Chain A
Amino acid sequence: MKKEIIARSLVVFFIIIAISIPFVGRWLISRKQGTIIDLHARTFENGGWSMDTLQTRVGVPIRIRMTSEDVVHGFAIGGYEMIPLEVTPGEFVETTLTFDKPGEYTFFCNRWCSPNHTRMRGIIEVMP
């Protein structure tokens, strides 16, 4: 009977470990990451960018971590000088942006990704 109890505890213990890996891991990472914004790229038909508007202030750096969920996308911003990023499915790419002037900037995909490619865009609101 004692063995049976050990066996049951082991099963439960292993299952708890299995379940806790994703949840604890996600929690730990979100603590460590702090202000990093996760931005997922999808074709317009699949929902486009996972966030339509990002907000920041002049001079405050904004960190974005991007990945694609389907095909190769790109990331570029109108009126902001940067080398366009390649956003590959399953891979992560990180960038830090700092804006000098307030206003609304449009970020968009610069790799042709679907018939509605040009509609895959979002806005970064930079407040003074």
Chain B
Amino acid sequence: MMEELLSTQEELNHQSLQTKWRLMVLISQCALLILFLPIPLVTPKPIDRLIHIDATSFQFTPAEIKVNQGDRVTIEFVSTDVVHGISIDGYDFQLTSDPGQPVTGTFVASWPGMFRFRCSVACGNLHPFMIGKLWVGPNLILIRGVLLGILAVVAAIFSLKKSKVLKTGKTS
């Protein structure tokens, strides 16, 4: 009798372990889907853009730029106080401007997402934190991040659903 009970208990444990594994596999599959599933987006027709950026220690103006994917972006960059530079993370784009002397450069915004741009010429103590943001198209990774967060909460709830913790919680 006792043995029988034990063996059914074991079987139950085994079963719950199996469902737990299945759940984990399912959740990680969902996570991968959320992170990497390509989302077909209708990108507006690429246009040429001219953007003027002022650099003053330690601020770009404007520091927040939005363009569409595929746009040809020409940046007119001018420093207003000391020598500043601009380089965009992930793009091979760099300009240096002497105070009052505008320089221009062009790049094609072919990569979507959020990219920080930074001052590339040491310009004083806060130089490492002289940062601006460029958005190319909608910021998909942020949306994916939020969805992954929702999945994380759901996963947390399901991973504890059948555990003792909640059951004892409910009876008490």
Contacts and interface: CB of A to CB of B under 8 A. Distances in A.
A114 B100 CA distance: 12
Closest 8 CB pairs of A and B: A112-B99, A72-B83, A89-B122, A71-B82, A71-B123, A113-B82, A70-B124, A71-B124
Contacts of A71: 57, 82-83, 122-124
Given A89-B124, A112-B83, A112-B100, 20 more contacts: A43-B82, A70-B125, A71-B57, A71-B82, A71-B122, A71-B123, A72-B82, A72-B83, A88-B122, A89-B122, A90-B122, A111-B83, A111-B98, A111-B99, A112-B81, A112-B82, A112-B99, A113-B83, A114-B81, A114-B82
Contact of A72 (B100, B123, B125): B123
Interface of A: 43, 68, 70-72, 88-90, 111-114
Interface of B: 57, 81-83, 98-100, 121-125
Contacts of A112: 81-83, 98-100
A111 B82 CA distance: 8
Contacts of B122: 68, 71-72, 88-90
Q: Most chain-A Cβ atoms within 10 A of its Cβ — which of B100, B124, B125?
A: B124
Q: Provide the main secondary structure of the chain A interface.
A: loop
Contacts of B83: 71-72, 111-113
Nearest to A112: B99
A43 to B, nearest CB: 8
A46 B116 CA distance: 31
Contacts of A43: 82
Nearest to A71: B82
A118 to B, nearest CB: 12
A107 to B, nearest CB: 19
Contacts of B123: 71-72
6 contacts: A68-B122, A71-B124, A72-B82, A111-B82, A112-B82, A113-B82
A88 B123 CA distance: 9
Contacts of B125: 70
Nearest to B127: A89
Contacts of A72: 82-83, 121-123
